[in-house]
Amino acid sequence: MVANAETILVRISGPDRPGITAGFMDRLAVSGAGLQDVEQVIIRGRLNLSMVIAVPKGQDLIKELLLYGWEQKIDVDFEVVEGGSPDRPLGLIVTVLGDDVDPAEFGAVASAVASHGGNIERIVRLAKYPVMAYELLVTGSDLELIREALLGVANALVCDIAVQREGLGRRAARLIVLDVDSTLIQNEIIDLLAEEAGCLVEVGEITERAMAGELDFGKSLEARVELLAGLDVAAARRARERVVFTPGARTFIRTLQRLGFRTAIVSGGFTLLTDDLALELGIDHSYANKLEVVDGHLTGRVEGQIVDRAAKATILRDLAQREGVSLDQVVAVGDGANDLDMLSAAGLGIAFNAKQIVRDAADMAVNVPYLDAILFVLGVRRGDIEAADAALGGSPPNP
């Protein structure tokens, strides 16, 4: 703390090159000035540096900074501000995702924030591949109203908007629990097996009845599995060869592992396929329905408890306890009504390319077709992903 000092906001801008920030800091140090706050951003090779400094009485520091800026062909602007540097209250982290985020969409986000007295304090681009992703820090006196306004405007935009409370927990080690069908993979496992058994149409009819509310998930699953009776286990291997991972799935899981996150899949599908998927990707936990097999053929029955909507939530809670992770630090990702309880139980429930009923109930929705886009919601930059891959000698491309 510098006694008898004047508080000044210094704004520095111009072409960036090594040593500029160091040069300004050296002049502050020599003069005995105090540094109360600093932010620096580089955009397309141009430096934008802001500092709040405490200048001792009698020091003509501003003249020295202006002279140094002139020598370096850097613009220096300043103004006297109120003293002190109070901590601001925690705000909202708003992630905007899309193939392209245009000015109209950014304007809609900014208007939603301003409509309830909010302010955007920082905007950072996280990625431009596989989607454009920006992270905004939003502050305001009524964060819940701002959050509701942002989620409301999201329904009218092409881009996705994810809103979270700012805080340390967002970057802490977490447990990530994923659905499999139409989330981790683009297929439906029951349909793959039904094709092998020659009963795809019949299975589809039962699925439609379940979706219409005529059958619950457990009853519909049992009815569909009965149609698989007599299918040889080798058919599961043939079905496995037709599985297509969601774009970005490998990158998503690989990056989570490098961050120290624990991963799990909890599926209404079948262990005949899901265990192999988990093994291939290095996923820590795998839960799904177990099909009864006798003499190398399916009997048409499920062994043990059916992994339905309620069971998924129970498994998530049990996993969190086993891993020593609070539910607040659990992220669940799914697309269907069978995932609703799981998404609700998690600290952060993400609807991924989901049905409307799931998007309405989840904490946030991601509708771009890349699973690794969820990393940006967690605050991970594309550059961090690529740097980690390069450090380990490269890695396979998406998915």
Positions marked active-site? 179, 181
Whether residue 307 contacts residue 319, with contact meaning beta carbons closer than 8 Å, is answered with: no
Judge whether 13 and 46 are in contact, CB under 8 Å: yes
Question: How far is residue 232's CA from residue 397's CA, in Å, rounded to a whole number?
Answer: 34
Residues 162, 168, 174, 176, Cα dihedral to 10°: 0
Q: Is 22 exposed, middle or buried (0-12, 13-18, 19+ CB in 10 A)?
A: exposed
DSSP SS3 for 6? strand
Nearest Cα residue to 217 out of 359, 354, 351, 340: 340
Q: For residues 237, 241, 247 and 249, what is the CA-based torsion angle, rounded to 10 degrees?
A: 30
DSSP string, 123-180: EEEEESSSSEEEEEEEE-S-HHHHHHHHHHHHTTSSSEEEEEE-SGGGGS--EEEE-T
Structure tokens at 167: 């805080």
Q: What is the CA radius of gyration of the chain?
A: 27
